[in-house]
């Protein structure tokens, strides 16, 4: 049967089903296939916090959205063009996000009276007019998969589980994706059980062949590769990129990397990834709690390693006393906070930007630290290196603020030339530095204000360590008021005088009166919204902060050069409060805390309203 092939410039697909339906795996495999074709990609996994919520219920719905295009894209897409719904719960949970005319592929086998009742459907939406505005493709995914595997040596239960591979095969056919890598993946994943390899491969091919032969899918689509900078790319998540950035920092500094971590969503993947890289001098320790994790990391820094600890907001709260100790000891320490929705346990698998105040001020006493935030999954690599550079050069804790959106999302990453990465080598103290032949552990470098880093056991460099206030230069315990004032101010000055790049403004027309300022993962939605406004002839400028402490030296001048400044944040206005207090600029906050990233459309609508009053 000859099928029409239609060219598209972009597509957004969402796979949705129960947590046990393999939607994350399906989406990840589709993304990998798409990456091989050279499309630009952005993904948004979305899953419940429960390990296994009741099957067929709304709280148990898991989804994976992938946006791919033949041009550079900035977000996972505002709304799906295609929804694959494995059951009624998946349909009901995601239907409101679909634009009219979207394609819906539904697994009709799951639309039983019992499953419909679980989510409050009085009748099947497949049988009434509630889906009249969409293009519905009813497919008996489960029974067709079981039928395709009738000759395979697997149980009915295992055959039903392979329905996600049937769906993947169908979608791979629809969008002309290559599938060889998926077949190799299945061979590796189920290598210990050849019967499962055969079953999943057969299910995938059955889905592909169904698309090829059925009359319900008369059109096949193609999305050409995007024009991208030449080089070698890989699809990477934020957590994986951050992990590799820490590995690179260890290599470029010549220091062992020690990770002290306690598992916590959504940071645990960093522990998993770093544990694979022992050959690069990476040591990982899964501690019994968050306090032990940061204590071990600080101890490793004292011993001459690059100490790192990873966590989310609740863990940062527990680590705060030891971070304050690191401030007093003036030792390098990288604290990775992969933010999630709070307070308390909050919504562990949802995203938020509400830990900025915690990072800037969440310690007792005057205990300033450096704070930086990556803007995208691939940028996590470079942000990790920058965090290590600041920590090692200025002997200070650095908090790296990622969040669940970019940690779990993925995009293409251009592999850098290792030689182009910054030189992070450290010169340890090796001999006494006092005029009388003694060692002065707090005699500072006049440029960086950093104290010497003396590895324990170095002859002649014995010195006190601990949380009590130190005397200037000697490091002796001191309760002298003038000394305490001096040390507090010096530690603050060490952070404030760290040179960071000036903030850059994207203002193509050069005449914008409105500046949109963001930080962290809002970069993509803000950029897409500004791009949309400019395409409509409206002038708007965008600037994005990576360094939040210290802030760029030119930031005040930039802010005051625009009539209006808008700051979109996934919190209740934390950066906006800092900007108002520090620069006396009446910034307009645009805030949401829904556990989801902004959409470009909502930001575009909001900014257009602001422009009317500029």
**Does residue 592 sit within a domain?**
yes
pLDDT computed for residue 67 by the predictor:
98
Q: Which residues contact 452 (CB under 8 A, 6 or more apart)?
A: 428, 429, 433, 439, 440, 441, 443
pLDDT computed for residue 52 by the predictor:
75
**Does residue 315 sit within a domain?**
yes
Please write the tens of the pLDDT for every residue from 97-146: 999 999 999 999 999 999 999 999 999 999 998 999 999 999 999 999 99
Residue ranges making up the domain that contains 216: 4-223
- Asked if residue 55 has pLDDT above 90, the reply is no
Q: State the Cα–Cα distance between residues 47 and 209, nearest whole angstrom.
A: 30
pLDDT computed for residue 270 by the predictor:
98
Give the domain-ending residue among 465, 499, 533: 499
**Does residue 73 sit within a domain?**
yes
Output the average pLDDT for the chain.
96
Same domain, 196 and 274: no
Is residue 405 within 8 A of residue 312, CB to CB? The reply is: no
**Does residue 455 sit within a domain?**
yes
- Asked if residue 440 has pLDDT above 90, the reply is yes
Question: 291-320: buried (b, 16+ CB within 10 Å) or exposed (e) per residue?
Answer: bbbbbbbbebbbebbbbbbbbbbbbbbbbb
pLDDT computed for residue 3 by the predictor:
80
Please write the tens of the pLDDT for every residue from 25-45: 999 999 999 999 999 999 999
**Does residue 228 sit within a domain?**
no
Domain count, the chain: 4
Q: Which residues contact 487 (CB under 8 A, 6 or more apart)?
A: 469, 470, 472
Tell me the CATH number at 132. Answer: 3.40.920.10
- Residue 286 DSSP code: E
SS3 letters across 58-117: HHHEEEEEEEEECCCCCCCCCCCCEEEECCHHHHHHHHHHCCCCCEEEEEHHHCCHHHHH
Same domain, 75 and 21: yes
Tell me the CATH number at 582. Answer: 3.40.50.920
**Residue 107 corresponds to which tokens in the numbers above?**
């697994």
CA dist list (Å): 201 to 148, 166, 182, 188, 446? 11, 9, 9, 12, 64
Please write the tens of the pLDDT for every residue from 304-350: 999 999 999 999 999 999 999 999 999 999 999 999 999 999 999 99
Please write the tens of the pLDDT for every residue from 487-505: 999 999 999 999 999 999 9
Give the domain-ending residue among 165, 194, 223: 223
Give the domain-ending residue among 360, 385, 420: 420
Same domain, 409 and 545: no
Same domain, 483 and 543: no
Same domain, 74 and 101: yes
Same domain, 347 and 261: yes
pLDDT computed for residue 1 by the predictor:
63
Same domain, 386 and 488: no
**Residue 241 corresponds to which tokens in the numbers above?**
């990129």
Q: How large a percentage of the chain has pLDDT more than 70?
A: 100
Q: State the Cα–Cα distance between residues 61 and 352, nearest whole angstrom.
A: 20
Same domain, 565 and 596: yes
Same domain, 29 and 80: yes
Same domain, 247 and 297: yes
3-state secondary structure of 371: strand
**Does residue 207 sit within a domain?**
yes
CA angle 195, 198, 199 (to 5 degrees): 85
Q: How many CA atoms lie within 13 A of 576 on its CB side?
A: 19
3-state secondary structure of 406: helix
pLDDT computed for residue 50 by the predictor:
80
The length of the chain is 614
Region 476-497 average pLDDT: 97
pLDDT computed for residue 2 by the predictor:
74
CA dist list (Å): 174 to 22, 45, 63, 210, 215? 20, 21, 19, 10, 13
**Residue spans of alpha helices (H) in 402-475:** 404-408
Q: State the Cα–Cα distance between residues 204 and 210, nearest whole angstrom.
A: 10
Burial class (CB in 10 A: 0-12, 13-18, 19+), 435: exposed
- Asked if residue 54 has pLDDT above 90, the reply is no
Same domain, 485 and 542: no
Q: State the Cα–Cα distance between residues 330 and 487, nearest whole angstrom.
A: 11
Q: State the Cα–Cα distance between residues 182 and 175, nearest whole angstrom.
A: 15
Same domain, 410 and 479: no
Please write the tens of the pLDDT for every residue from 520-546: 999 999 999 999 999 999 999 999 999
């Amino acid at each position: 049967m000859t099928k029409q092939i239609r060219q598209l410039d972009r597509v957004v697909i969402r796979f949705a089903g129960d947590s046990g339906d393999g939607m994350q795996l399906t989406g990840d495999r589709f993304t990998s296939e798409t990456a091989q074709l050279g499309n630009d990609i952005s993904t948004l996994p979305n899953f419940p916090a429960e390990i296994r919520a009741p099957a067929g219920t709304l709280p148990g719905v898991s989804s994976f959205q992938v946006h791919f295009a033949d041009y550079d894209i900035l977000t996972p897409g505002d709304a799906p063009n295609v929804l694959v719904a494995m059951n009624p719960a998946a349909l009901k949970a995601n239907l409101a996000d679909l634009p009219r005319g979207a394609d819906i592929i539904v697994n009709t086998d799951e639309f039983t009276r019992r499953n419909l009742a679980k989510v409050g459907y009085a009748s099947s939406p497949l049988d009434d007019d509630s889906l009249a505005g969409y293009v519905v493709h009813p497919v008996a995914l489960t029974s067709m998969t079981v039928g395709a595997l009738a000759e395979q040596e697997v149980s009915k239960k295992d055959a039903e589980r392979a329905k996600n591979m049937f769906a993947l095969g169908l979608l791979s056919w629809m969008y002309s994706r290559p599938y060889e890598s998926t077949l190799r993946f299945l061979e590796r994943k189920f290598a210990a059980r050849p019967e499962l390899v055969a079953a999943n491969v057969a299910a995938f091919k059955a889905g592909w062949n169904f698309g090829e032969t059925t009359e319900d899918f008369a059109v096949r689509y193609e999305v050409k590769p995007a024009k991208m900078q030449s080089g070698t790319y890989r699809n990477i998540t934020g957590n994986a990129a951050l992990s590799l950035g820490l590995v690179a920092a260890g290599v470029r500094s010549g220091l062992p990397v020690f990770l002290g971590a306690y598992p916590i969503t959504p940071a645990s993947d960093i522990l998993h990834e770093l544990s694979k890289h022992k050959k690069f001098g990476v040591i990982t320790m899964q501690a019994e709690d968050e306090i032990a994790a940061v204590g071990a990391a600080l101890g490793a820094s004292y011993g001459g390693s690059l100490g790192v600890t990873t966590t989310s907001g609740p863990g940062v709260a527990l680590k705060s006393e030891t971070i304050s100790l690191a401030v007093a000891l003036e030792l390098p320490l990288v604290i990775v906070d992969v933010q999630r929705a709070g307070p308390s346990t909050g919504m562990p698998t949802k995203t938020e930007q509400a830990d900025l105040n915690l990072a800037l001020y969440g310690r007792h006493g005057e205990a300033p630290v450096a704070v930086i935030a990556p803007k995208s999954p691939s940028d996590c690599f470079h942000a990790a290196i920058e965090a290590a550079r600041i920590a090692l050069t200025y002997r200070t804790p650095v908090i790296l603020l990622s969040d669940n959106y970019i940690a779990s999302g993925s995009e293409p990453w251009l592999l850098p030339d290792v030689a182009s990465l910054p030189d992070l080598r450290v010169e340890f103290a090796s001999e006494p530095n006092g005029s009388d032949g003694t060692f002065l552990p707090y005699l500072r470098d006049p440029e960086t204000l950093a104290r010497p880093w003396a590895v324990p056991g170095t002859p002649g460099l014995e010195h006190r360590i601990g949380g009590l206030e130190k005397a200037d230069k000697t490091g002796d315990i001191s309760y002298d008021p003038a000394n305490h004032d001096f040390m507090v101010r010096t530690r603050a000055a060490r952070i404030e005088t760290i040179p960071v790049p000036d903030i850059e403004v994207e203002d193509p027309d050069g005449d914008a009166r409105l500046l949109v300022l963001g930080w962290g993962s809002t970069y993509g939605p803000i950029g897409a919204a500004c791009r949309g406004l400019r395409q409509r002839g409206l002038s708007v400028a965008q600037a994005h902060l990576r360094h939040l402490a210290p802030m760029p030296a030119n930031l005040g001048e930039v802010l005051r050069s625009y009539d209006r400044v808008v700051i979109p944040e996934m919190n209740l206005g934390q950066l906006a409060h800092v900007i108002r207090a520090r620069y006396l600029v009446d910034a307009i906050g645009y805030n949401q805390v829904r556990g989801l990233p902004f959409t470009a459309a909502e930001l575009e609508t909001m900014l257009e309203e602001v422009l009317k009053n500029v």
